[in-house]
Structure 1
Amino acid sequence: MEAYEKVVEMLNGLDIPFEIVEHEPALTTEQADSFIEGIEGVRTKTMFLTNKNKTAYYLVIMDDKKRLDMDLLKDLVGANRIRMASSESLFEKMMLPAGAVSPFGLLNNADKDIQIYFDKEIMSEKRMSFHPNTNEKTLFLDTTDILKFLEAIGYEAHIIEL
């Protein structure tokens, strides 16, 4: 089953409504934003990070206009050093190519060894947007529903101030 269809099947199975916008491949957050202008929902960026020894993995979700303070994050999660994970690690852990990272990739994380962190700042937004395991579509869903999705597949979302 194609990665996108897996997302749709899971959301439908959970009775989670969503809106899909199809577009050409988005290679940057700026480009992705241009394809979805005028649609309600916070534009997110999802970063796949790891610690120095690649023994812990993190998915950090925040407003795509905000910069991540890596030093603050490492202190919040108790790591000695945090950096962007390699594209090889991304594919190994979530079977995703670079540029398509989102919480939906967790459907492919058999080890359930990725910690999820949302920036508190976006949690008051009604809707969020993510790539549904492809950068040729953007999926919008209610903020409460992304948390419902994560819980249904066995993940706990942590809300932190970044």
Structure 2
Amino acid sequence: MTNEERAQKVFDALDGLGIGYEVHTHPPVATVEEAKNHWDHIQGTKAKNLFVRDQKGKKHYLIVLEQDKPLNMKWFSEHFGLDKLSFASPERMEKYLGLQPGSVSPFGLINDANKEVIVYIDEEVMGGGHVNFHPNVNTMTLNMASEDFKKYLKAMGNKVHFVAIHMEG
């Protein structure tokens, strides 16, 4: 699938749900630090997305945080009663989300046909009125109202937890 097809799949899904969005194009960015150079003019919360797995590789999680918030994975796994977590491989990312490193976002849930990925979203992400994510390619940022993002998540059918993630721990 080409990058254009990956993005179009997201646009088609959002259009089908009646969700409005703005598309911002930019050079390819693989990290939050690179993306910050192109996000100044975009309103709302900018997020980072971490795709992780448990120690046995049986469960996979997408953790969504405000772009500058650190995550202590040991604290996270203990606090939420999960097995030890580590970053998932690019192969797992492709298998479960249909994505490449540098383009991970909740829009990858479109490709999770078996609804295996469990999502944890820090409540701070939803507090800005609008959210911003890559539409499965790292040359665009998609902006939408937080409430519309919740509508998208509900339509995807994955288990989603809105939680408070603390920096300490």
Q: What TM-score, normalized by structure 1, do the two folds share? A: 0.95
User: What residue number does 1:65 align with?
Assistant: 68
The question of 1:152 aligning with 2:160 is answered no
Rounded Cα–Cα distance in structure 1 between residues aligned with 2:128 and 2:72 = 22
The Cα shift of 1:41 comes to: 1.0
For residues 85-123 of structure 1, the C-alpha deviation after alignment (integer angstroms, 9 at most, x for no partner) is 111100111110000000100111122111111112222
User: What residue number does 1:109 align with?
Assistant: 112
The answer (yes or no) to whether the contact 2:53–2:88 under 8 Å persists in 1 is yes
The question of 1:54 aligning with 2:27 is answered no
Equivalent residue in structure 2 for 1:81, among 84, 88, 96:
84
Alignment of 1:17-28 (within 5 A): 17-28=20-31
Q: What TM-score, normalized by structure 2, do the two folds share? A: 0.92
- Larger deviation: 83-92 or 116-125? 116-125
User: What residue number does 1:38 align with?
Assistant: 41
For 1:121, what is the secondary structure of its paired residue? helix
Query: Which 5+ residue runs of structure 1 have no aligned equivalent?
Result: none
The answer (yes or no) to whether the contact 1:61–1:119 under 8 Å persists in 2 is yes
For residues 20-59 of structure 1, the C-alpha deviation after alignment (integer angstroms, 9 at most, x for no partner) is 0011101221111211212211110011010000111100
For residues 54-75 of structure 1, the C-alpha deviation after alignment (integer angstroms, 9 at most, x for no partner) is 1111001011101111122102
For 2:101, what is the secondary structure of its paired residue? coil
Rounded Cα–Cα distance in structure 2 between residues aligned with 1:123 and 1:130 = 12
Rounded Cα–Cα distance in structure 2 between residues aligned with 1:15 and 1:110 = 21
Query: Which 5+ residue runs of structure 2 have no aligned equivalent?
Result: none
Equivalent residue in structure 2 for 1:123, among 112, 117, 126:
126
User: What residue number does 2:7 align with?
Assistant: 4
Report the AA paired with residue 74 of structure 2: D
The Cα shift of 1:81 comes to: 0.3
The answer (yes or no) to whether the contact 2:97–2:110 under 8 Å persists in 1 is yes
Rounded Cα–Cα distance in structure 2 between residues aligned with 1:109 and 1:122 = 22
- Larger deviation: 87-96 or 76-85? 76-85
For 1:53, what is the secondary structure of its paired residue? coil
